């Protein structure tokens, strides 16, 4: 694919420190590609300047921390120590009250996300599955829950109010016309941006890196609209794309990034997308008494379960393919050629 | 033992698909024996036709899913991919409002229980301990918690109301005459059937496979009545056998299925039974804010802790004996001869 | 160091059963030293006779249980099967209503802590990290949560009331003069003693074993006062030293007990101390709906994350140094010579 070759040539031409940081942003959607990362970052700033700055602070803090703590250069270069920080920054700014101290809090959380990533990589080593965005989720939960105890911070109005789970009120069906909006918003919600344009930019960024990846992302948004509608989830949540970002990530992970693309793995990806919707609904129930959002944990859980289970399957379509590929953009390039 | 030889001969004579499914039902109480499974299934239908049908739908969905996903034939044959589905079905019908969609929900949950089992087997592989009913518990919790978010389903009246844990009201002592009823009900409660006859049928099913296993099951019900009474648990819960089914499973697992039967492992089994009662009380407290029942998780936790700890003991009475035995009914047969 | 040589000579001269029990007490602060353990035990009795007796019952029950269950002699001798029991005893007496049955409850909990320790050691074996006080925390949580269901026990007035987390009320700054008191209390709070004298005795006990360890303990109390003040935590909690005992343990573990002491590991220790404060605030939020205290779990989590992450670092300052050292007081002796 010409575009992919071209974007990877640019990737390699960018000076190393910038390339590492931009790849960190690109890795949010499993793209070890600085051009993709740059498009994501632009999209983030379009979504909101504070979110863009927070993401920048996050990717800088977490990547620099990884260097100082002596974690493997190969992983840092591939941007693996960047994307959790990139997510932690806008997340804390979305859910906590904006204040000057919050910048320090974001830097601390990004550093911790790097340490948690290294620890999770060590734990998951014998199982050969990726830690993915788990460090972002665990760190953000911790920092959001801690705010209950601290006087210097306030919980923002978007954070769910802690309470006891109650049954959903009865809700009418979602009108078909808002489907398109929800679909593109679902992709942008991965980065907490509630905007159609941001979603389209993200999709372009993924498509430049891999058409197959973009196809899985689009399928994820569709699963993330159709299944919640069938199950009767609150219409507003679906419209905002809040039920789509987890299936987007789950289908990209199972259908493209970590299993060998095939008819069978596409079937698995759809199954993973459906279970991710149920997992998100269930996890939201678990977290209600704590007043915390599910973030991307439904995706992380479903991905772990599917990759671990794939390892027991005789169809063995899990070989950590992209795990290596993520490390080596040259291999990635070749894999993409095969795929597209 | 003539009965065991005889039941295993029948087991081997049954056509493979039926044998696999019936063994799946039998594995609920660690019995890789289709005759035992058939008795259990009959007991289930006696307990309630809906429960029987739900168990049938569950064992079918989970076993077929295991085939389609390519999990190891040896495990499928032994019924290991059947018992979690068998439990998921009646569980969802007990705790959620009966509706036509619920059948689809049960099928989805049974498929997920199969994938979770494969993932857990992969995780537990280095430790050589069984996943047991953990996939059933995790999947059921997820699907029950998800219902809070869905409009198409309702939580049934038996599901605990989510709340903040409060101290037990003061309760008078349990009269001795209801002990017998509670004992047999405890065994039936593993399959959510609140009936003495069902409990006796379960016990017969186990005894056909192993007298030692049946003795441990009976001991478990006694521990599950005496210990809660001593600790002052709500009389009604004890009478319904709700505190007995976890010790039944724990004592069967530690005293018969997974450790070499001996005086020492019998002592361990009683200790496991006692801790299971405390674990059930504690876990119920943890789950109160989520409005979820403890199911068989107290047993799973205590069994894992005891089998892991046994591995550090110089008395080394853990050798994964029955893990292999479960795979091979011939070996099982021989072991049972030694035991009984 | 003359004092250390001297205290270890006494350690070796004490008859084995007593040495094992006293080392168990000493291991609370990572000190495999019976003299240190004796000073800790005296401090405990000064803090309160019931607490001292409960600690004695705990260390006896858990160590004897380890013998009877056949766990490795080398670990038992080093006191590793003693310190969790030592902590369980006073913890249950602090948080539950004092009653004659409570002694039986303490003995049961101490036995369970021994089994949980063996299980955790088996789980953590591939990762080569210590279980530390995790068995104490898990067992105590279980036994405290179980009390909700039991009629024979009552929750004491110190146990938090189960509720939904709410934001901290606004709190004025902590006056500087109470800093000293909080610092020494922080160390004593590890053993649930709210007293300056007990704290100083603990510090002396640690200093006899290792000056470096004592320096880290003191640094931990300072981090546990300064950071919560900066973040605006409730003044009373800080004053009582409740925010200091976790950083004390975290800084001792990361800066002395398990990583090779160096400038870099001292930096890591301070980072660990800071994250422990945030982790304690966050975990307290997570536990609010359950009505349970965080105990030493913030320390356990941060220590696990830091030791696992250290294993991925090229500076490789984790080599399980003290893990071995803990087993062998002679090696410890030599290491202490190098350090101090």
Average pLDDT for residues C231-242, to the nearest whole number? Answer: 74
Q: What is the dihedral of CA B180, B186, B188, B190, to 10 degrees?
A: -170
CA dist C80 and C245 (Å) reads 20
Is A256:A30 a contact under the CB 8 Å cutoff?
A: yes
Residue B77: pLDDT band with limits 50, 70, 90: very high
Phi and psi based region of residue B48 (left: phi greater than 0; alpha: psi -120 to 50; beta: remaining): left
Size of interface A-B (CB pairs under 8 A): 114
Q: What are chain A's partners, defined as 3 or more CB pairs within 8 angstroms?
A: B, C
- Binary contact (B312, C122; C-beta < 8 A): yes
Question: Which among A77, A182, A84, A202 has a CA at the least distance from the CA of A140?
Answer: A84
Angle at CA of residue A126, ends B309 and A21, nearest 5°: 135
- Convert the pLDDT of each residue in C260-314 to its tens digit: 888 888 999 999 999 999 999 999 888 888 888 899 999 999 999 999 999 999 8
- The predicted pLDDT at position C174 comes to 39
Average pLDDT for residues C212-219, to the nearest whole number? Answer: 94
- Taking any CB pair shorter than 8 Å as contact, residues of chain C touching chain A are 126-127, 164-168, 170-171, 230-234, 271, 274-275, 278-279, 281-286, 288-289, 304-306, 308-309, 311-315
Residues of chain A neighbouring B128 (CB-CB closer than 8 A) = none
Is B81:B62 a contact under the CB 8 Å cutoff?
A: yes
CA dist B323 and A222 (Å) reads 43
CA dist C214 and C191 (Å) reads 16
User: Taking 90 as the threshold, does the pLDDT of residue C119 lie above it?
Assistant: yes
Residues of chain C neighbouring B236 (CB-CB closer than 8 A) = none
The single residue listed with the structure tokens 């249980």 is C65
**Can you tell me whether residue B318 is helix, strand or coil?**
strand
User: Taking 50 as the threshold, does the pLDDT of residue B322 lie above it?
Assistant: no
User: Taking 90 as the threshold, does the pLDDT of residue A264 lie above it?
Assistant: no
The model's pTM is 0.88
- Binary contact (B167, C154; C-beta < 8 A): yes
Phi and psi based region of residue A172 (left: phi greater than 0; alpha: psi -120 to 50; beta: remaining): beta
Measure in Å the smallest separation between the Cα of C272 and chain A Cα atoms: 10
Among the residue ranges A270-274, B152-156, B266-270, C260-264, the one predicted with the least confidence is B152-156
DSSP string, C176-243: GGGHHHHHHHHHHHTTT---HHHHHHHHHHHHHH-HHHHHHHHHHHHHHHHHHHHHT--HHHHHTTTT
Q: What backbone phi and psi angles, to 5 degrees, belong to A96? A: -110, 160
- Taking any CB pair shorter than 8 Å as contact, residues of chain B touching chain C are 126-127, 164-168, 170-171, 230-234, 271, 274-275, 278-279, 281-286, 288-289, 304-306, 308-309, 311-315
Question: Is A325 or A110 the better-scoring residue by pLDDT?
Answer: A110
Question: Is A237 or C110 the better-scoring residue by pLDDT?
Answer: C110
Q: What length does chain C have?
A: 340
- Convert the pLDDT of each residue in A93-105 to its tens digit: 988 888 888 999 9
- Binary contact (A278, B142; C-beta < 8 A): yes
CA dist C319 and C321 (Å) reads 5
Measure in Å the smallest separation between the Cα of C150 and chain B Cα atoms: 5
Tokens representing residue C270 in the block: 């301070």
The single residue listed with the structure tokens 């002395």 is C256
User: Taking 80 as the threshold, does the pLDDT of residue C217 lie above it?
Assistant: yes
User: For helices C100-124 and C49-68, what crossing angle results, to 10°?
Assistant: 50
Say which of A168, A274, A305 has its CB closest to residue B149: A168
In angstroms, how far apart are the furthest CA atoms of chain C? 55
- Convert the pLDDT of each residue in B134-185 to its tens digit: 999 999 999 999 987 776 677 776 677 666 665 543 333 334 444 455 556 6
Residues of chain A neighbouring B112 (CB-CB closer than 8 A) = 275, 278
E-only strand ranges, chain B:
none
Average pLDDT for residues A147-162, to the nearest whole number? Answer: 71
Measure in Å the smallest separation between the Cα of A268 and chain B Cα atoms: 9
- Binary contact (A151, C232; C-beta < 8 A): yes
Measure in Å the smallest separation between the Cα of A335 and chain B Cα atoms: 25
User: Taking 70 as the threshold, does the pLDDT of residue C4 lie above it?
Assistant: no
- Binary contact (B282, C141; C-beta < 8 A): yes
- Convert the pLDDT of each residue in C30-70 to its tens digit: 999 999 999 999 998 988 899 899 999 999 999 999 999 99
Residue C198: pLDDT band with limits 50, 70, 90: confident
- The predicted pLDDT at position A332 comes to 41
CA dist B114 and C53 (Å) reads 50
- The predicted pLDDT at position C229 comes to 85
CA dist A197 and A192 (Å) reads 13
What is the percent of chain A with per-residue pLDDT over 70, rounded to a whole number? 79
Residue C165: pLDDT band with limits 50, 70, 90: low
Residues of chain A neighbouring C282 (CB-CB closer than 8 A) = 141-146, 149
User: For helices B211-231 and B179-189, what crossing angle results, to 10°?
Assistant: 120
- Binary contact (C271, A142; C-beta < 8 A): no
Average pLDDT, chain A: 83
User: Taking 90 as the threshold, does the pLDDT of residue A306 lie above it?
Assistant: yes
How many Cβ atoms are within 10 Å of C160's Cβ, its own excluded? 15
Say which of B71, B115, B143 has its CB closest to residue A282: B143
Tokens representing residue B276 in the block: 């299971």
The single residue listed with the structure tokens 């660690």 is B30
Is C293:C159 a contact under the CB 8 Å cutoff?
A: yes
Say which of B126, B275, B314 has its CB closest to residue C126: B126
Q: CA dist C122 to B129, B222, C84, C128, Å?
A: 11, 31, 17, 10
Say which of B112, B126, B148 has its CB closest to residue A165: B148
User: ipTM of the assembly?
Assistant: 0.86
- Convert the pLDDT of each residue in C84-118 to its tens digit: 999 999 999 988 888 888 999 999 999 999 999 99
Measure in Å the smallest separation between the Cα of B213 and chain A Cα atoms: 30
User: Taking 70 as the threshold, does the pLDDT of residue A194 lie above it?
Assistant: no
How many Cβ atoms are within 10 Å of C203's Cβ, its own excluded? 23
Is C238:C199 a contact under the CB 8 Å cutoff?
A: no
Average pLDDT for residues B242-249, to the nearest whole number? Answer: 88
Is C83:C25 a contact under the CB 8 Å cutoff?
A: yes
User: Taking 90 as the threshold, does the pLDDT of residue C206 lie above it?
Assistant: yes
Among the residue ranges A36-40, A150-154, A178-182, the one predicted with the least confidence is A178-182
- The predicted pLDDT at position C172 comes to 35
CA dist B226 and B182 (Å) reads 11
User: Taking 60 as the threshold, does the pLDDT of residue A176 lie above it?
Assistant: no
Average pLDDT for residues B117-122, to the nearest whole number? Answer: 97
Question: Which among A153, B209, B184, A43 has a CA at the least distance from the CA of C282?
Answer: A153
Angle at CA of residue C151, ends C145 and C157, nearest 5°: 60
CA dist C85 and C60 (Å) reads 8
Is C252:C29 a contact under the CB 8 Å cutoff?
A: yes
Question: Which among A226, C3, C114 has a CA at the least distance from the CA of B271?
Answer: C114
Question: Using the 8-state DSSP alphabet, how is residue A14 labeled?
Answer: S
**Can you tell me whether residue B39 is helix, strand or coil?**
helix
Average pLDDT, chain B: 83
Element (H, E) at B6: helix B2-13
Best of A278, A283, A314 to disrupt the B interface by mutation (most B CBs within 10 Å)? A278
- Binary contact (C309, A119; C-beta < 8 A): yes
Measure in Å the smallest separation between the Cα of A4 and chain B Cα atoms: 33
- Binary contact (B281, C149; C-beta < 8 A): yes
CA dist A287 and A295 (Å) reads 11
Q: What length does chain B have?
A: 340
Residue B274: pLDDT band with limits 50, 70, 90: very high
Best of C115, C162, C286 to disrupt the B interface by mutation (most B CBs within 10 Å)? C115
Residues of chain A neighbouring B123 (CB-CB closer than 8 A) = 127, 308
How many Cβ atoms are within 10 Å of B196's Cβ, its own excluded? 17
- The predicted pLDDT at position A339 comes to 40
Measure in Å the smallest separation between the Cα of B183 and chain A Cα atoms: 33
Residues of chain B neighbouring C144 (CB-CB closer than 8 A) = 282
Residues of chain A neighbouring B115 (CB-CB closer than 8 A) = 275, 305-306, 309
- Convert the pLDDT of each residue in B36-70 to its tens digit: 999 999 998 988 899 899 999 999 999 999 999 99
Say which of C289, C308, C314 has its CB closest to residue A123: C308
Question: Using the 8-state DSSP alphabet, how is residue A173 labeled?
Answer: P
Residue C326: pLDDT band with limits 50, 70, 90: very low
Is A288:A162 a contact under the CB 8 Å cutoff?
A: yes
- The predicted pLDDT at position C196 comes to 79
- B229 bridge partner residues: none
Measure in Å the smallest separation between the Cα of B171 and chain C Cα atoms: 7
Is A50:A98 a contact under the CB 8 Å cutoff?
A: yes
Q: What length does chain A have?
A: 340
Q: Which residues contact B173 (CB under 8 A, 6 or more apart)?
A: B229, B235
Dihedral sign, CA of C213, C216, C222, C227?
negative
Tokens representing residue B208 in the block: 């056909």
What is the percent of chain A with per-residue pLDDT over 90, rounded to a whole number? 56
Best of A277, A308, A315 to disrupt the B interface by mutation (most B CBs within 10 Å)? A308
Residues of chain A neighbouring B289 (CB-CB closer than 8 A) = 164, 289
Residues of chain B neighbouring C72 (CB-CB closer than 8 A) = 312, 314
Measure in Å the smallest separation between the Cα of C159 and chain A Cα atoms: 17
- The predicted pLDDT at position B191 comes to 58
In angstroms, how far apart are the furthest CA atoms of chain A? 55
- Binary contact (B151, A232; C-beta < 8 A): yes
Residues of chain C neighbouring A151 (CB-CB closer than 8 A) = 168, 170-171, 231-233
- Convert the pLDDT of each residue in B294-307 to its tens digit: 999 999 999 999 99
Alpha-helical runs (H) found in chain C: 2-13, 16-26, 34-47, 49-68, 73-77, 83-95, 100-124, 134-146, 179-189, 196-209, 211-231, 235-239, 245-252, 263-287, 297-310, 321-327, 329-339
Residue C328: pLDDT band with limits 50, 70, 90: very low
Q: What are chain B's partners, defined as 3 or more CB pairs within 8 angstroms?
A: A, C
Question: Is A328 or A260 the better-scoring residue by pLDDT?
Answer: A260
Measure in Å the smallest separation between the Cα of A331 and chain B Cα atoms: 28
The single residue listed with the structure tokens 């030791």 is C307
Tokens representing residue A174 in the block: 């979602």
Question: Which among C86, C104, C113 has a CA at the least distance from the CA of C153?
Answer: C104
User: Taking 70 as the threshold, does the pLDDT of residue C330 lie above it?
Assistant: no
DSSP string, B278-308: HHHHHHHHHHGGGT---TTHHHHHHHHHHHH
- The predicted pLDDT at position B183 comes to 58
Say which of A233, A275, A282 has its CB closest to residue B145: A282
Say which of B119, B142, B148 has its CB closest to residue A167: B148
Average pLDDT for residues C108-134, to the nearest whole number? Answer: 96
Which residue is closest to C165 within chain B, CA to CA?
B164
Question: Which among A264, A243, A186 has a CA at the least distance from the CA of A29?
Answer: A186
Residues of chain A neighbouring C165 (CB-CB closer than 8 A) = 145, 148, 162, 290-291
Measure in Å the smallest separation between the Cα of B306 and chain C Cα atoms: 7
Residue C139: pLDDT band with limits 50, 70, 90: very high
Q: What backbone phi and psi angles, to 5 degrees, belong to B190? A: -55, -35
User: Taking 60 as the threshold, does the pLDDT of residue C173 lie above it?
Assistant: no
Is C79:C25 a contact under the CB 8 Å cutoff?
A: yes
Is B92:B284 a contact under the CB 8 Å cutoff?
A: no
The single residue listed with the structure tokens 């074996």 is C125
Question: Is A56 or B264 the better-scoring residue by pLDDT?
Answer: A56
Say which of B275, B281, B289 has its CB closest to residue C150: B281
Tokens representing residue C298 in the block: 């913030």
CA dist A20 and A60 (Å) reads 10
What is the percent of chain B with per-residue pLDDT over 90, rounded to a whole number? 55
Measure in Å the smallest separation between the Cα of A314 and chain B Cα atoms: 5
Tokens representing residue C95 in the block: 């948080």
């Amino acid at each position: 694919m010409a575009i992919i070759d071209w974007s990877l040539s640019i990737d390699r031409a960018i000076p190393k420190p910038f390339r590492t940081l931009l790849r960190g942003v690109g890795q949010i959607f499993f793209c070890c590609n600085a051009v993709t990362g740059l498009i994501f970052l632009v999209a983030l700033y379009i979504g909101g300047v504070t979110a863009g700055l927070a993401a920048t602070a996050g990717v800088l803090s977490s990547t620099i921390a990884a260097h100082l703590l002596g974690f493997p250069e190969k992983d840092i270069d591939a941007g693996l120590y960047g994307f959790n920080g990139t997510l932690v920054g806008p997340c804390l700014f979305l859910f906590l009250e904006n204040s000057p101290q919050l910048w320090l809090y974001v830097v601390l959380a990004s550093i911790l996300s790097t340490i948690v990533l290294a620890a999770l990589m060590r734990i998951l080593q014998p199982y050969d599955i990726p830690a993915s965005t788990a460090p972002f989720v665990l760190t953000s939960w911790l920092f959001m829950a801690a705010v209950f105890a601290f006087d210097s911070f306030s919980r923002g109005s978007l954070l769910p109010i802690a309470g006891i789970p109650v049954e959903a009120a009865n809700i009418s069906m979602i009108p078909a016309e808002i489907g398109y909006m929800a679909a593109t918003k679902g992709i942008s919600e991965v980065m907490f941006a509630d905007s159609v344009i941001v979603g389209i930019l993200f999709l372009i960024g993924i498509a430049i890196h891999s058409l197959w990846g973009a196809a899985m992302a689009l399928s994820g948004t569709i699963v993330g609209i159709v299944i919640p509608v069938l199950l009767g989830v609150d219409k507003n949540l679906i419209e905002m794309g809040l039920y789509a970002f987890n299936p987007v990530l789950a289908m990209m992970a199972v259908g493209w990034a970590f299993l060998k693309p095939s008819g069978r793995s596409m079937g698995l990806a759809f199954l993973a997308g459906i279970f991710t919707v149920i997992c998100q609904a269930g996890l939201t129930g678990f977290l209600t008494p704590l007043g915390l959002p599910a973030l991307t944990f439904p995706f992380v859980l479903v991905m772990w379960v599917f990759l671990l289970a794939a390892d027991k399957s005789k169809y063995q379509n899990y070989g950590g393919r992209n795990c290596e590929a993520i490390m080596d953009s040259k291999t990635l390039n070749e894999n993409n050629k095969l795929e597209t």
